[in-house]
Amino acid sequence: MPTPSAPLPDDLAGLHDAVVGWFDDHARDLPWRGTAEVLPEPWPVLVSELMLQQTPVVRVLPVFEAWMERWPTPADLAAEPSSEAVRAWGRLGYPRRALRLHAAAVAITTEHDGRVPDDHAALLSLPGVGEYTAAAVASFAFGQRHAVMDTNVRRVLARVVLGQAYPSTSVTAAERRLAQALLPADDAHRWAAATMELGALVCTARAPRCDVCPVADRCRWLALGRPDHDGPPRRGQAWAGTDRQCRGRLLAVLRDATDPVPKAALDAVWEDGAQRERCLDALLDEGLAQVHSDGKFSL
């Protein structure tokens, strides 16, 4: 076991029991989740993990359900053009994730006999699957022992163990060592899901509900009087007037159209011509849009 850079809580078993017990009683009933006795199917887990990146559950749920009804297996998605994946992605944002999920489905179909691999290294080799997603799928879908470190988990560990309001901007080696050292010997996947849910529902970023937290009596941050964040300022992401907003407007035109659209239809949705052309060029380069021989555009 790697040596953590911070002292571990004295009663690790008690910490595990408190968090997982709370999870058993309060976890949301989400369609990509299993139960304490039955693991979920791997494909829905992979789909949900890519959809949930930087997108809240409430927005993901209807898109996920429609997606799984249309493409219940990787082979079903792989059989369709990638443009259909982008169209079905709707307004979830960061539509490159749709292309990556389609590419992952193709790889699963052609290289893994249509089954999401259970090997962590094989998961990492899939398009669009990074360290976090590979650990999440291996943990949640296959019950393996991995440190699953999303924003919610990192915030819980920062507060409860380190006494800090927020974790660092990016995952550090020390953080990984701590998360690994905190994993229980058994049912580590339940601990991963439970800490994630605790961060999403109770130990939230802006308004933590310490009065109902199952580990309030063990939380170092609370014991220290909830000290303010002393790191770099935490800035929210801008939206109005950004390239992200412009790209979203252009993609909305293409997504809602049943046939290729003329350039004028794209010009009409964004006033800044230079920014619009830059964003359109980027969409073409990334494969999110295509231009036809007659000068019209489509997904």
Handedness of CA 109, 120, 152, 174 (dihedral sign): negative
Residue type, 237: Q
Catalytic-labelled residue, pool 37, 49, 84, 175: 49
Q: How far is CA 215 from CA 58, 94, 112, 149, 274, in A?
A: 26, 35, 42, 19, 53
Instruction: Specify the 3-state DSSP secondary structure of 222.
Output: helix
Q: Which of 164, 168, 163, 152 is nearest to 203 (CA)?
A: 152
Query: Please, what is the Cα angle at 296 between 284 and 104, to 5 degrees?
Result: 35
CB atoms within 10 A of CB 194: 24
Secondary structure letter of residue 90 according to DSSP: T
Three-class SS state of 291: strand
What is the residue-wise DSSP string for 20-79? HHHHHHH----TT---SSSPPPHHHHHHHHHHHTTS-HHHHHHHHHHHHHH-SSHHHHHT
CA-closest candidate to residue 220, choices 10, 2, 4, 1: 10
Active site residue 41: no
- The contacts of residue 90 (CB under 8 Å, 6+ apart) are 63, 255
List beta partners, residue 291: 297
The b/e string for 20-39 (b: 16+ C-beta within 10 A; e otherwise) is: bebbeeebeebebbbeeeee
**Residues involved in catalysis:** 49
